Amino acid sequence: MKPYNVVIDFYTGDLRPGKKILRRVSDIKKMCYDEKAAEELIQNGDPLVYEAIYADVPEEEGQLGHCTTIIYPGKVGKEYFLTKGHYHAKTGTAEIYFCLCGQGRLIMESMDGDCEILEMFPSSASYIPPFWSHRTMNTGTEPLIFYCIFPAEAGHDYSTIEEKGYPKLIVEENGEVTIIDNPKRRNR
């Protein structure tokens, strides 16, 4: 592999050259607190929730994967649009999220059950330690755009989060961003 540049548009999240992955409400339905509200959104057009644009880097040790993620404003019921959330398949790997635009929250859970929630805002850089799962949600009215850097061999384990969920949810209550306990949380 030879050195190369990518170009990132800080205002749109576009990363070129890059491979785009789109996630709609139908892709995150099982992750949502209110699956009935998710089903209604799916039946009414299945809106785009987020997209990730990955730089072309081999998924092998020694390489640094990087991408932009764009989460659009919206809610499923009262829960803000969110990413699926995952552990890294290679759990001992960390990641950095650098927020370019918008407002959001990053929820993380360690394998020991500790839960942390960080605010994301332009110029914030969030460090996700090894052995922590992570999910991001857009709590604002414009797209939440962030740049991610991670070991290219890290991989994704979505199934653990799909099965048990997170201990906390980020919802809108009375016009405010609110953290609540997840009543659908399953222990593993």
pLDDT in tens, 17-31: 999 999 999 999 999
**Higher pLDDT residue, 154 or 186?**
154
Per-residue pLDDT at 92: 96
pLDDT tens sequence across 105-151: 999 999 999 999 999 999 999 999 999 999 999 999 999 999 999 99
pLDDT tens sequence across 42-88: 999 999 999 999 999 999 999 999 999 999 999 999 999 999 999 99
Distance, in Å, from the CA atom of 137 to the CA atom of 50, rounded to the nearest integer, reads 10
Per-residue pLDDT at 188: 52
What is the CB neighbour count within 10 angstroms for residue 5?
Answer: 8
Residue ranges of domains in the chain, CATH in brackets: 7-181 (2.60.120.10)
What H or E segment, with its residue span, contains residue 104? strand 104-110
Per-residue pLDDT at 184: 86
Type of residue at 1:
M
- When the pLDDT of each residue in the chain is averaged and rounded to a whole number, the result is 96
Type of residue at 18:
G
Instruction: Kindly report whether the global pTM for this prediction surpasses the value 0.85.
Output: yes
If DSSP codes are grouped into helix, strand and coil, which group holds residue 29? helix
